[in-house]
Structure 1
Amino acid sequence: MTTSYDVRFWDTRRNASSKKPSYEARWKVGGKAKSKTFRTKALADNFVSDLRQAAKLGEAFDVVTGLPLSMLAADNSKPSGPTFLEFVQSYLMSRWRSSAARTRETDAYAMLSLVPALVADLPSRPSDSEIRGVLRSHALLPEGRRADLTNRQAVTLRWLEKASLPMSDLREARLLRIALDAIAETFAGKEAGANTVRRKRAVFHHLLEQAVEQKLFVSNPLDEIKWTPPKAVTAVDPRTVVNPAQARKLLDAVSMVGRKRGPRLKALFACMYYAALRPEEASDLRLKNCTLPSAGWGLIILEKARPQSTKRWTNTGETHEPRSLKHRADKETREIPIPPSLVDVLRSHVEEYGTAEDGRLFRTSTGGTHSSSAHSYVWQEARKLALTPAQSASPLAARPYDLRHAAVSLWLNAGVSPTEVAKRAGHSVDVLLRVYAKCMDGQQDAINNKINDVLDC
C-alpha cells in the first residue's frame, strides 16, 4: 500500500453533469485528485470534514483510495452483505409500486421502531427521535421524494449508516428479542396497543421472509423465537352500536354543527349508516355511482375508495387519492341496495350542494376532500348535541366508523343472511361472523326453538 501525508482539500461543488442535484467532495492525495459524489451538500461537507480531521491528526492517506488509514480499516472491516438499514431501504422500495399509500406508511412506521433498535453501540448516538426524523423524511423514501437534510440530520444519517447492524447478525435470538421489545413500545416508551404490535411484527416477519428469498437466511429466524404477541380485540363492542332512533338523532345533530362543515357531512355519515360504507368509500362516492329514484329503494355501485394518508406516501403527493376497493381487485365493484331514507338524504344533498367537478358527492366548500380530523370533530360535536351526558361519556357511537358497525349489526339482526350482508359490506363471511358475533342479538329464543323442534322429533 502506498501512503502519503500530502493532502489538499477544495470546497464542495455542485455536480453540473447530473440531472438530479448532487455535490462533489474534492481532495488530492500525493498529487492525485480524488472526488466522491453525494446527494446533498451537507453529506459532502461532512465527509470532507472527516478527511480534514484525519489529516489534522497526522494520519497517512492511501494514495489509491484517497482515504485515511482509519477510514480504510473501518471500510475493510465491514462484513459482507447489507446492513439492516440497507435491507430495509431495498425492501420498502421493492414494495413501493404495488403498495397503497397506507400500506407504505404502515411498513415505514414499523421500521421507525426497528431501525433505531438494531444498531451497534457507537459513540455520539443521536436521539431516537432524531433517527426517526431522518428515516421518515429521507432515508425510507424513494430518492426523488427525499427532503434535503440539515447539517444535524446529515450527521445523524451518517451515524446510522455506520451503526446499523449487518443483516447476518439477525440470526441471533438476542437481537430479535431486542427488535420485538422495540415494536412492543410506543415512541414515548409506553406499552403499544395490541393491534399496532401485531401489525409491526407482521411487517418485520415479511421483511425477513424476503431475506430468506434472497438467500441471506436458510429459514426465517423469527419463526424460532418463542414470543406471544398480545391478544388483539377483533370483535365489535356491542356498546358502540346505536339503534335506528339514536342513529337518526345523531345524523340530524350532524347538520347542526357549524355553518358549512356539518351540513355537508350529514349525507356522508348517512351513507355509512344506511349503506355500511367505509369513510374512504363514501369520500369517493360519485353521482354516477348512485341510482336515486323518486320513490322506493335505490342502488349504490361502488367503484373506488379515497383513503387518507400522509402526502409523502401517496403517488400524487396529495393527502387523498383514489384506489381500488379494500380486499378487491382493481376495477372490481360492489353493489349495495339503499333504503328510501338514504335515497332522500342523497337527493337533498345533491340539490343543495351539487357535485365536485369530478362528480364526487362529498367535498369541502373549496372542492377538496374532508379530512378524517374534520369527520371526527363534527361527529364528536354531534354526539354532544344528540346524546345524554352519560351516553356521550360511554363508548356509544364513539367514532364515525361505528355507524358502519351499527349498519352491519342491524342487517344481521334483521335476519339478512350472512352471505348477503358480507356481500353488501365488503367482508368475507368468516370475518363478518367473527367481527360481529357479539352484536347478533335477539336471536337466542329463535335458535333455542329450532333446537327444541329437532329434539322433539
Structure 2
Amino acid sequence: MSTENDTPAGRPRGSARPGYSFDVKLWKVTRTGRKSRPWRLRWVVAGRVHGDTFTTLALAESRRSELWQAMNRRGEAFEIESGLPESEVRAAAEAAEAADVEPSLRWFEFCRKYVAGRWRTAAAKTREGMADGLAAVTLAMVKRGDDAPDDETLRLAFRWGIVPANAGEDPPAEFKAAYDWVTTTDRPLGDLADPEVFEDVLYRLSYKLDGTPAAGDTYKRRRRALNTALEHAVVTGELPENPPSARPPEARRLQRGGGPPRPRERRTGAAIAHGGLVRRLVGPLPRAGPGGFLRGPVLRRAAAGRGGRAEAV
C-alpha cells in the first residue's frame, strides 16, 4: 500500500502531552474490494494504525483533507487511542459535556421504540417496508472498520432486533456478533443532521447490497419509511426538526416558498403549427373538391410543379 509523507519542514516538533503524538503518517485513499464501502483511508499515530471506510471517493478524500490540515496546517497532535486530532477529541468532549450528562438517544434504541409503537396496528406489508427502510439506513448509522460484520448480516441482526416479540431475547448465534455491533457502535439519532452522514444514508436507500441501483419503487418505499420515522422523532421531541435533506423534494420546495411543483407536461414528437404557418403550407395546394386535399400521385405532381417534392399520403 502506498504511503505519503505530508509533513512539511515547518511543522512544530516536540513532545506532545500524554496519550497524544506528533508522529502521524497519512496514507492515500485505496480500494477495499467491498461493494458497499469501496474506499478506505488509513493513517498511523505513533505506530498504531487507524482507518475508516467510505461509500464514495469524495467522502474519503474529504476526510483525508481534514486530517491533513490538522496534521500540517494546524500542527495538532493526534490521540493515540482514537487516532483523532486533538481538536476533534476536544470538540467531542465539549459536546458530551454540553449534553448535560444525559446521553443522546441512539439510532437502534430509537428504531426499536418506534417500531414497537407501530407494529401491532401495521399491516404485514407495512411492517416489511418499515423494517427494510430502517435496516438500509442502519448501514450508514453504525461505525465501520475492518472488523465490522458484513452488511447483509448487519441488516439481518437489525431486523431481528427491532421485532417487538424478540425484545429481551438473545439473538441467534449466526448473527450475535452483528447484533452486538449494531447495538454498541450505532450513531446518535441527531447525527442524521450531518450532511456527510445523510449522504451515506441516501446511498443506502438508493442501492442494493451488491452495489447495483435499487428499483425506483424500492427507493421511494425506503425513503418514505425514513421520513415517517423522522417525523415521529420530531413529534416526540427526539429531534428539533426533520432534517431538510430527509424530506421529499416537494416538501423542501414548499419550505423555501417556491410553491408546489408544476405538473409535468406530456411531450410527444408532434408539434402544433400556428394558423398563419398552416395557411402558408397548405393554402397554395390545389383542391380535389369541396373540403378535400389532393392525395397520392396528383399531390406529387402538384408539388413538383411548384419546385418541391411530396410523398404519397
TM-score under structure 2 length normalisation: 0.44
Structure ID, larger Rg: 2
